[in-house]
Chains A and B, each alone.
Chain A
Amino acid sequence: MTQAEKERRFQEKIDKEIKIEPNDWMPDEYRQTLVRQISQHAHSEIVGMLPEGNWITRAPNLRRKAVLLAKVQDEAGHGLYLYSAVETLGTSREQTIDDLHSGKAKYSSIFNYPALTWADIGAIGWLVDGAAIMNQVALCRTSYGPYARAMVKICKEESFHQRQGYESLMKLCSGTPQQKAMAQDAMNRFWWPALMMFGPSDAASTHSDQSIKWKIKRFTNDELRQSFVDATVEQAQILGLTIPDPNLKWNEERGHYDFSEINWDEFWQVVKGNGPCNKERLAARVKAKEEGMWVREAATAFAKKRAMKQSA
């Protein structure tokens, strides 16, 4: 079969909504795109544990502490499924993680912003997980089978994360003026970075067209960003929080909210590594890997010894 014929058949499957499975033929670029996207997603889960993990020891009551522990544990689990999904494409977890540490692979820039107050934990749940869900719900129908199946499970847990974040902010917004101000401050700091989570605008996105054709992505960055804004405005009103955008208003004609242009300079600066916490986040991951080296070596050495004993 010629290359062109293989590609034609591959696209035919995609068009018929037949999932691509690990042993199926796929174009190299499809494989690379998936490795890039899924590993980026996995790294986001793992790096995302850090800002929230910071607050586990300071959670204001036992119930919140337990919920936060459960949430961060879920995120580690998501990282695990997603690294496994990357492995089905022929790239080991070790290699994927090395790419993160060398700076070759990216993760969601949102986690390069600091979690300064308890309200930030609520805002991360509501806005950050909310934005993530917009992306992820669409990914449940992505063309690569293992990725789509991982996303179904992840989405269920993410919607619990978003609800707990919203519920936590609800408590602050119905509390004292000081608590309400803490919630508004978190909203002010997280709103724009949350909108940036959908990536560059469609005009500036280098990977979008091909990904849509291959049904890796079902919607463009701008479409998903708009859906998120439309869904979130009313939720903010219920909380009594102000979205920090003077140009936010309903556009009858478009049937959507209009909003200001994102500060793309800030977006690219953070992507390039110049966000408030880029260095700290990566350093924490590298440190965990280095300090855990002897543990992994011990586990390997022990497994070998046991295997030898059994075969002896």
Chain B
Amino acid sequence: MQQPALFEYVLRIADDSLILGQRLGEWCGHGPILEEDIAMTNIALDLIGQSISLYDFAAELEGTGKNHDQLAYLRYENEYKNILLVEQPNGDFAMTILRQFFFDAFRLPFYEALMQSPVAQLAAVAAKSVKETRYHLKHTSEWVIRMGDGTDESHQRAQSAIDHLWRYTNELFYENEVDQTLQAEGKVPALSAIRTQWLSTVTNVLSEATLQIPTNDWKFDGGREGRHSEHMGYILSDLQYMQRAYPNMEW
């Protein structure tokens, strides 16, 4: 492989999108309001669409003739490089929205920065996805505010979701030698600058929502290295079911 670091980097973004899209897909038909069934399906659809473009590019970089489905469906658990946040269970609507909000608040400045990448395929995916992500962030921010400043129950549910998910947010900014290599080549943005923007969005929205940022700074990571939570195996057993049960068939 010519560019192993870039391959790994593209897979991370693709896997984050795929696994979060997969999680949102579980809501379909079970949302609290019909409008939210539509919105969550729409976000899932955008994320799956982003993952297709990214897996196509990853397959091209790998250069072994695989297609996007082989990358998405036929790896082992420790070969998926998504962060732990996106694989966390849907929980209640507050948990789903907060998970999505933390992610969107990262993805927007991330894609904005990635649009400047000299790697044309990355810049193109970022340019397309940034518009979608702007809507996602608007949608989830509005819900965080509504829940936080709604009823006592919604406030408490939103705060519990924040308290639970906070430990997974640090991994959004996880960097290792893959990032160092690509940053040194000027191909991808440094995540430290994006963290500042993320924290500013999160602080503003939570403050408007009258919700608190947890003081507990317990942090989890491992996803980027292929070490996942117990949830991941179940996600893959659904995702990969058809491809594993009926190998080498076209659908």
- Residues of A at the B interface (CB closer than 8 Å) are 46, 49-50, 53, 56-66, 69-70, 72-73, 76-77, 79-80, 83, 118, 168, 171-172, 175-176, 178-179, 284, 287-288, 291-299, 301-302, 305
Contact = CB atoms under 8 A, between A and B. Distances in A.
Given A58-B238, A73-B42, A298-B147, 19 more contacts: A49-B37, A50-B29, A57-B238, A58-B241, A60-B251, A61-B251, A62-B68, A69-B28, A69-B48, A72-B29, A73-B41, A76-B37, A288-B29, A291-B93, A295-B33, A297-B151, A298-B153, A299-B150, A301-B154
A301 B32 contact: no
A300 to B, nearest CB: 8
Interface of B: 18, 22, 25-26, 28-38, 41-42, 44-45, 48-49, 51-52, 55, 68-69, 72-73, 92-93, 145-147, 149-151, 153-154, 157, 238-239, 241-243, 246, 249-251
B88 to A, nearest CB: 15
A224 B238 CA distance: 39
A57 to B, nearest CB: 4
A64 to B, nearest CB: 6
29 contacts: A49-B29, A49-B37, A58-B241, A60-B251, A61-B243, A62-B52, A62-B68, A62-B72, A64-B251, A65-B25, A65-B48, A69-B25, A69-B28, A73-B41, A77-B38, A118-B242, A118-B251, A175-B251, A288-B31, A288-B32, A292-B32, A292-B33, A293-B32, A294-B157, A295-B147, A298-B147, A298-B150, A299-B33, A299-B146
- Which 3 A-B residue pairs are closest in the complex by CB-CB distance? A292-B32, A298-B150, A298-B154
Given A64-B251, A65-B48, A76 B153 contact: no
Contacts of A59: 242
Chain A contact residues, majority secondary structure: helix
Chain B contact residues, majority secondary structure: helix
A238 to B, nearest CB: 18
Contacts of B147: 295, 298
Most buried by A among B33, B92, B251: B251
B125 to A, nearest CB: 15
